[in-house]
Structure 1
């Protein structure tokens, strides 16, 4: 009986020791692999060149001239219309950050025809007396130099809308003005009188809105609208007891397309991997 009890007790001790050894065995920790860390650089900054072309719709504010003779007064043209024309532009700028850029632009407005007229005593001269109407023909071209700033409103896919403004000057060059006055009753016309054209620099401001489209990371297409206001100035000189004359300025509404090339390379995304820790080895 005693042998049987001692044998059972020995078996219980062996089983308990075996279970204790199993509990004390440390658990294997899983090997933790760190996810790669992706860092995207800021939008590219730096110098850029731009080129633009477009069509300009002009709204002339009027014109006036000094009428000699007994009236000796300034008279407004009864009508003053400036036809539309094409434009070409170029510039250099700097992309300050992803939201702000500035540039200096030079634009050329191609030759545009002026058609005006006067009525009554303002048109009367020489053979034309009483009720007369004049036909006044000239041409104008202009060169603008503007300093501009733009705010980019965020990029949506490949498209970045923007707004902007500019200040500067426009050199307006008028060709000679050809003036022909005819009696309204058809009795006759004066000989055509030519007034020498004038040129002058005028204060100009501009407002812009549009969008750029990423063609590549360096090259961007630009589609936009620009409003430009050009102050009035000298238009033509004195001739045959009439003149000089001046225009009252004009607004220009421009539909533009162009491109910008940004120097300095393309932004690249960098990927960093943490070193994996070696697995724990248990012996």
Structure 2
């Protein structure tokens, strides 16, 4: 019985080789290869991301046309912290280089500034209204809300993965739409209050990043990042006295930058999961 089985197997192998050679002689195509198994655990190069964070902005200086008429001294200017929220889509070019495009909303933050001027003799002009002669010293206390939208195109360099942790650096360029809302200018010594119309400036923006990414699994990555962001300048609309007696063009808020701390999640698309084990029936 064993010899018969061996003989049958040998004949089958010889016939298979003979049939393949005969098909080749006739010019027939080779039999199709079996389909490749899916890459279990692999992901595609495209990812989605979402992030939240805290913006800690600074302002370099403030200015208005009134500063040309007296020796104004700015002794305080500040923008308070605010939350930020963003989303994006990215592409992993290689194991160390990736790109993404992000859009974010930076919530309203309180702007505060104070200045003072010594007064003097001469003409002090506010818009078309002139005050000739001696005018007393004074101070202005400014408050407003600052709100912005930022869109950036970013590139990152991943610096190697260690225990599922990947440090990286990056940079981005884009646009920032910065709004000054509800500006109020109070001059207590002069018993004067001015209100400004809302105004939005759209500027070139840029950013640099440093961060750590942690691979939770092949398709989900947590991302903790620091970002320095330059949003450009902002300004209010026309500033008018409460009794419409005078006005000036705007208060300019110069060179807004921000130290941002962000926590995000990246979802890699195209992840293949293992097929379920077949169930044997008896």
Question: TM-score, normalized by length of structure 1?
Answer: 0.70
Q: Is the 8 A contact 2:201 2:233 kept in 1?
A: no
Matched ranges for 1:29-68 at <5 A:
44-67=43-66
Deviation at 1:262, TM superposition (A): 0.4
- Matches of 2:264 and 2:166 in 1, distance apart? 14
Q: Bigger CA drift: 217-226 or 238-247?
A: 238-247
Q: Which has the larger radius of gyration?
A: 1
Indicate yes or no: 2:113 matched with 1:116.
yes
What do the CA deviations read for 1:126-166 (whole angstroms, capped 9, x no partner)?
9x941211211111111000000001111112111111000
**How many residues are paired up?**
220
What do the CA deviations read for 1:145-193 (whole angstroms, capped 9, x no partner)?
000000111111211111100000100011021111022xxxxx42321
Deviation at 1:267, TM superposition (A): 9.8
Indicate yes or no: 2:160 matched with 1:157.
no
Q: Is the 8 A contact 1:43 1:97 kept in 2?
A: no
Q: CA-atom RMSD, angstroms? A: 2.8
Matched ranges for 1:1-283 at <5 A:
44-67=43-66, 77-120=74-117, 129-183=135-189, 189-239=190-240, 240-265=246-271
- Matches of 1:99 and 1:267 in 2, distance apart? 24
C-alpha distance 206-266 of structure 1, shift in aligned 2 (>3 A): farther
Q: Which has the higher strand share?
A: 2
- Matches of 1:236 and 1:121 in 2, distance apart? 26
Deviation at 1:47, TM superposition (A): 1.0
Question: TM-score, normalized by length of structure 2?
Answer: 0.71
Q: What secondary structure, in the 3-state scheme, does the structure 1 residue paired with 2:222 have?
A: strand
Q: Bigger CA drift: 43-52 or 133-142?
A: 43-52
Q: Is the 8 A contact 2:115 2:140 kept in 1?
A: yes
Deviation at 1:95, TM superposition (A): 1.1
Unaligned runs of 5+ in 1: 1-39, 184-188, 269-283
Q: What secondary structure, in the 3-state scheme, does the structure 2 residue paired with 1:67 have?
A: helix
- Matches of 2:58 and 2:76 in 1, distance apart? 12
Unaligned runs of 5+ in 2: 1-38, 241-245, 275-282
- Matches of 2:62 and 2:175 in 1, distance apart? 20
- Matches of 1:220 and 1:236 in 2, distance apart? 43
